[in-house]
Structure 1
């Protein structure tokens, strides 16, 4: 009886996680963008893309969109400072997806970081990018305003991410500038471990 209840509980939790992964959501190509660069988004997770009205922020809808295989793709061809802010997908019925915060900088440095949560235990690389050169310049990395490390390549890799790595990250290139902050989200493996435990007990 107890084993059966435990099994049903785990299956319910796993189902909820699966639904969450497949839920209506928005994904940008980057969280930080230099001014005048393009920003790409797509909306997914709806069974019928005809329900989608588009991608918008507080100022209005992104006008340049196209549908491909039931996924809506939108682009801001030339981003300006006023394009910064929260973006979300919206249905014709008024339902909204998660929102993402896009930073548009007129400065010379951005931080390239994951746009979706990173699974615990996976590897993640943060890159400090200079607007005027494609070469990798030495950079300093910060988490929650505290210095973490310097990198001669302008990259910082965390080989096995944990929840303690979650936070606001930024980078600085000496004599060039400092990036804005971006949130690194980390998703735990709790339900995955529960499923393994369930399989052991069946």
Structure 2
């Protein structure tokens, strides 16, 4: 009699980790991003999936990105790309999930795409999309930015990070340290 391995046991042996470059959860419209599915063993049988407001898709098969081995390159993001992404095997095993938001404005809060655990050091930056003057072709004035977050954030916590400038304000809901 043939002995079969159940799916949960199989998934422990076939792990995958999804990463994104650049490593952040917010992107500007028309920006390029690369998702990479690092698989223990052979990448064959794994696909990148995404769930957006339009539905769930196989990213490389619907033309959303260009497949290059275990990487999927999207040359131009749109707000319709807002959603969650993961790698999935033919057997139904799944990687970690990454959430992506595409912002049509000129400011994003740069925070890592991966979950942040308690005690992790994290760099948070405000980023202003540089605009170019059509007359001079030089970068416009790049203002200084200040990041503010509540003091004494406890786990688990959800809070807002704000980027402040005289002319622009942006904010993003951010999940604090995980409870694990």
CA contact 1:55–1:74 (8 Å) conserved in 2:
no
Change (3 A) 1:180 1:117: closer
Matches of 2:18 and 2:160 in 1, distance apart?
22
1:26 maps to which of 18, 22, 28: 18
Matches of 1:86 and 1:121 in 2, distance apart?
25
Matches of 1:94 and 1:121 in 2, distance apart?
32
Q: What SS is found at the alignment partner of 1:60?
A: strand
* TM-score for the superposition, normalised by structure 2: 0.67
Change (3 A) 1:163 1:114: farther
Aligned pair count? 149
Matching residue of 2:67? 65
CA contact 2:155–2:177 (8 Å) conserved in 1:
no
Task: Please list every run of 5 or more consecutive structure 1 residues that lacks an aligned counterpart in the other structure.
Answer: 1-18, 143-147, 150-160, 189-202
Matching residue of 1:138? 145
CA contact 2:161–2:174 (8 Å) conserved in 1:
yes
Deviations 1:6-62 (A, max 9, x none): xxxxxxxxxxxxx7xx94231223200011111221112332211212343334222
Change (3 A) 1:106 1:43: same
Over the aligned positions, Cα root-mean-square deviation in angstroms equals 3.1
* TM-score for the superposition, normalised by structure 1: 0.60
Pair 1:177-2:174 in alignment? no
Mapping for residues 155-174 of structure 1, pairs under 5 Å = 164=155, 167-174=158-165
Matching residue of 1:40? 34
Task: Please list every run of 5 or more consecutive structure 2 residues that lacks an aligned counterpart in the other structure.
Answer: 1-11, 61-65, 132-138
Matches of 2:40 and 2:105 in 1, distance apart?
37
Matches of 2:178 and 2:143 in 1, distance apart?
26
Matches of 2:41 and 2:179 in 1, distance apart?
25
